[in-house]
Structure 1
Amino acid sequence: MEPDGREETGNKVVGARQAVREARRIVVKVGSSSLTTASGGLDADRVDALVDVLAKSRGAQEKEIVLVSSGAIAAGLAPLGLRRRPKDLARQQAAASVGQGLLVARYTASFARYGIRVGQVLLTGDDTSRRAHHRNASRTLDKLLAMGALPVVNENDTVATDEIRFGDNDRLAALVAHLVRADLLVLLSDVDGVYDGDPSRPGTSRIAEVRGPADLEGIEIGSAGKAGVGTGGMVTKVEAARIAAAAGIPVVLTSAVHAADALTGGDTGTYFHPTGKRFADRLLWLQHASTPQGSLTLDDGAVRAIVQGRKSLLPAGIAAVEGEFTAGDPVELRDGRGHPVARGLVNFDAKEIPRLIGRSTRELARELGPAYEREVVHRDDLVLLEP
Structure 2
Amino acid sequence: MSGSLRREVLDARRIVVKIGSSSLTTPSGGIDPERIRTLADVLAGVRARGAEVVLVSSGAIAAGLAPLGLTRRPRALAAQQAAASVGQGLLVHRYTEELARHQITTGQVLLTVDDVTRRAHYRNASQTFDKLLEFGALPIVNENDTVATSEIRFGDNDRLAALVAHLVHADLLVLLSDVDGLYTAKPGTPGARRLTEVTRPADLDGVDIGSVGSAVGTGGMVTKVGAARIAVEAGIPVVLTCADNAAAALSGEGVGTLFHATGKRRSARLLWLAHATEGVGSLQVDAGAVRALVERGASLLAAGLTGVVGTFHAGDPVDVVGPDGVAIARGLVNFDSEEIPKLLGRSSPELVAEFGEAYEREVVHRDDLMLL
> Using the alignment, how far apart are the partners of 1:282 and 1:54 within structure 2?
27
Match of residue 236, structure 2, among 233, 239, 249:
249
Query: Which runs of 5 or more structure 1 residues have no equivalent in the other structure?
Result: 1-7
Following superposition, the deviation at residue 106 of structure 1 comes to: 1.1
1:284 and 2:271 matched: yes
Query: Which runs of 5 or more structure 2 residues have no equivalent in the other structure?
Result: none
1:224 and 2:212 matched: yes
In structure 2, what is the equivalent of residue 18 of structure 1? Answer: 7
1:344 and 2:331 matched: yes
Give the alignment of 1:176-191 within 5 angstroms: 176-191=164-179
1:159 and 2:147 matched: yes
In structure 1, what is the equivalent of residue 123 of structure 2? Answer: 135
1:30 and 2:19 matched: yes
Letter in 1 for 2:249: A
Aligned residues: 372
In structure 2, what is the equivalent of residue 238 of structure 1? Answer: 225
> Using the alignment, how far apart are the partners of 2:367 and 2:205 within structure 1?
32
What secondary structure, in the 3-state scheme, does the structure 2 residue paired with 1:249 have? Answer: coil
What secondary structure, in the 3-state scheme, does the structure 2 residue paired with 1:38 have? Answer: coil
Following superposition, the deviation at residue 369 of structure 1 comes to: 4.1
What secondary structure, in the 3-state scheme, does the structure 2 residue paired with 1:158 have? Answer: helix
Letter in 2 for 1:149: A
> Using the alignment, how far apart are the partners of 1:346 and 1:9 within structure 2?
48
Letter in 2 for 1:69: S
Larger deviation: 193-202 or 356-365? 356-365
> Using the alignment, how far apart are the partners of 1:130 and 1:366 within structure 2?
30
- Deviation string 1:155-211 (CA, Å, 9 cap, x unpaired) is 121121234631311111111111111111110000011111111213111111222
Task: State, as a whole percentage, how many aligned pairs show the same letter.
Answer: 67
What secondary structure, in the 3-state scheme, does the structure 1 residue paired with 2:266 have? Answer: coil
1:47 and 2:31 matched: no
CA contact (8 A) 1:108 1:118 kept: yes
What secondary structure, in the 3-state scheme, does the structure 2 residue paired with 1:120 have? Answer: strand
Match of residue 72, structure 1, among 40, 60, 78:
60
Following superposition, the deviation at residue 371 of structure 1 comes to: 4.5
- Deviation string 1:34-68 (CA, Å, 9 cap, x unpaired) is 11112111111111111111111111x11111111
Letter in 1 for 2:121: H
Letter in 1 for 2:108: Q
Match of residue 310, structure 1, among 289, 297, 313:
297
In structure 2, what is the equivalent of residue 294 of structure 1? Answer: 281
Following superposition, the deviation at residue 332 of structure 1 comes to: 0.6
In structure 2, what is the equivalent of residue 3 of structure 1? Answer: none
Letter in 2 for 1:54: L
1:146 and 2:146 matched: no
> Using the alignment, how far apart are the partners of 1:313 and 1:9 within structure 2?
49
CA contact (8 A) 2:77 2:152 kept: no
Give the alignment of 1:96-135 within 5 angstroms: 96-135=84-123
> Using the alignment, how far apart are the partners of 1:218 and 1:41 within structure 2?
37
Following superposition, the deviation at residue 356 of structure 1 comes to: 1.7
Larger deviation: 143-152 or 365-374? 365-374
Distance 1:338 1:163, change over 3 A: farther
1:332 and 2:319 matched: yes
> Using the alignment, how far apart are the partners of 2:212 and 2:268 within structure 1?
29
> Using the alignment, how far apart are the partners of 1:57 and 1:263 within structure 2?
7
Following superposition, the deviation at residue 309 of structure 1 comes to: 4.1
- TM-score with structure 1 setting the length: 0.90
Following superposition, the deviation at residue 305 of structure 1 comes to: 3.1
Cα root mean square deviation, aligned: 1.9
What secondary structure, in the 3-state scheme, does the structure 2 residue paired with 1:171 have? Answer: helix
> Using the alignment, how far apart are the partners of 1:353 and 1:240 within structure 2?
35
What secondary structure, in the 3-state scheme, does the structure 2 residue paired with 1:106 have? Answer: helix
- Deviation string 1:240-292 (CA, Å, 9 cap, x unpaired) is 11111122111111111111121122101111111222222321111112332
> Using the alignment, how far apart are the partners of 1:163 and 1:199 within structure 2?
31
Following superposition, the deviation at residue 93 of structure 1 comes to: 1.1
